[in-house]
Amino acid sequence: MSATLEPLDQRPGTQSEDKGRGGRSLAETVSRVREFSIGGALVLLILATWLTNPSFLDDQGIKDLLLNSSILVLLATGQSVVVLTRNIDLSVGSVVGLTAFACGSFASGSDHSAFTVVLIGIALGACCGLVSGALVSFGRVPALVVTLGMLYVIQGVDHAWAHGDQINATNVPDGVLDLGSGAILGIPYLPIISAVVLAGTAYFLRTYRSGRELYAIGSNPEAARLAGIPIRRRVLAAYAFSGGVAGFAGALWLARFGTVVADAANGWELTVVSAVVVGGIAITGGVGTVWGAALGALLLTTMGSALVVLKVNPFWEQAITGALLLVAISTDRVVRSRTTQALRKRRRE
């Protein structure tokens, strides 16, 4: 008995697989366009500021840009993982403040190594993330409510602990301060650390199944559940990662500035969310990359530095950031609608 082979495009499952690949390809193309546009805007901003004030790109100016953007890039990386799952973490700024003060209190007047201080920060931040993640994933409480509540709870704990005191750089071990001021071949440690965390996160999201499942959860939670993806565990892990990264950023904040008060990084949560959304990660989840979020963080940081160099009122930094956030969300809405229409047209054809 001879077997008859079906044409490739008529075999079961082939058409649906092609449609899935087509949808992913279209979404990736849109994401790449957004990232290139953000990169282009960043280059134009730097060039315009440099032409106005050439010292903006001298050795010290470049070093300041890298240092100023490092912590924001780090926080945007952690926030991206949460936003990809169609959630949000508004507590990252308060976690940075708490861990920075905690690490400073632990290290003051001692000879603890920078590695130990960083581990303390990561562990404390991850615990905060686990609490938020448990309430969101297992308690089924809206992420906005949970993380906004955690923001105020952590701030209250931090202020009650500090009692108006501050950590002074003179009491912080030199090994910790060297982490914030040292360099390799002229490149400061902080941007190198941020780049390593960014690259590792990007590799995980693109290569590992559990990373790709975060995109699936954000794209269609119901379909992800039917596919057997452990949504609750993945969301919990995303929050733990975001909290751990924020704790890491808190330890680096101490290393960078030395002097820490209870409200360190106050208000940064909205800046972090703006960087992520402006960088191309959809607030509705499932679309974007951490590379785009890093570009968004670089754009916002460079914009702030450029306004200072150009002697523009700092008020406009907040106004422009808010405008960029509104434009990014509106663009995501339009792009998502048109992408859906294009996919429907492909299916009909």
CA distance 275 to 13: 39
Query: Do the domain assignments include residue 64?
Result: yes
Number of domains in the chain: 1
Q: Give pLDDT tens digits for 76-85.
A: 999 999 999 9
Q: What is the domain extent for residue 106?
A: 35-44+54-334
What would the mean pLDDT of 42-52 be, rounded to a whole number? 86
| Percent with pLDDT over 70 in the chain | 86
- Residue 112's pLDDT is 83
- Residue 245's pLDDT is 97
CA distance 346 to 182: 54
- Residue 25's pLDDT is 57
- Residue 19's pLDDT is 43
Residue 282: pLDDT band by 50, 70, 90 thresholds?
A: confident
Query: Do the domain assignments include residue 87?
Result: yes
Query: Do the domain assignments include residue 236?
Result: yes
Please state the pTM of the whole predicted model: 0.85
CA distance 160 to 180: 27
| Percent with pLDDT over 90 in the chain | 45
Whether pLDDT at 296 is above 70: yes
Query: Do the domain assignments include residue 346?
Result: no
Q: Give pLDDT tens digits for 180-234.
A: 888 898 889 999 999 999 999 999 999 999 999 999 999 888 999 999 999 999 9
CA distance 209 to 225: 15
Whether pLDDT at 2 is above 50: no
What would the mean pLDDT of 41-70 be, rounded to a whole number? 86
Report the CATH number that the domain containing residue 298 is assigned in CATH: 1.10.3470
Query: Do the domain assignments include residue 301?
Result: yes
Long-range contacts of 331-338 (CB under 8 A, 24+ apart): 331/34, 332/277, 332/282, 332/283, 332/284, 332/287, 335/30, 336/282, 336/284, 336/287
Residue 162: pLDDT band by 50, 70, 90 thresholds?
A: confident
pLDDT greater at residue 311 or residue 156: 156
Q: Give pLDDT tens digits for 226-263.
A: 999 999 999 999 999 999 999 999 999 999 998 888 78
Q: Which residue has the tokens 């902080």?
A: 190
Among 94, 252, 251, 260, which residue's Cα sits nearest to residue 170?
Answer: 260
- Using CA atoms, how far residue 149 sits from 78, 89, 125, 142, 154, in Å, is 19, 11, 16, 11, 9
Per the CB < 8 A criterion, the answer to whether 317 and 304 are in contact is yes
* Strongest mean pLDDT among 81-95, 105-119, 280-294: 81-95
Task: List all residues 6 or more positions away from 294 whose beta carbon is below 8 Å from its beta carbon.
Answer: 73, 76, 77, 198, 279
Q: Which residue has the tokens 């909205």?
A: 270
Q: Give pLDDT tens digits for 106-121.
A: 988 778 888 999 999 9
Whether pLDDT at 138 is above 60: yes
Whether pLDDT at 73 is above 70: yes
Task: List all residues 6 or more positions away from 129 whose beta carbon is below 8 Å from its beta carbon.
Answer: 89, 95, 239, 240, 241, 242, 243, 244, 246
- Residue 81's pLDDT is 96
- Residue 82's pLDDT is 96
- Residue 6's pLDDT is 40
Whether pLDDT at 22 is above 70: no
What would the mean pLDDT of 39-68 be, rounded to a whole number? 85
Instruction: Give the mean pLDDT of the chain.
Output: 84
CA distance 208 to 211: 5
Q: Which residue has the tokens 């993982």?
A: 81
Query: Do the domain assignments include residue 239?
Result: yes
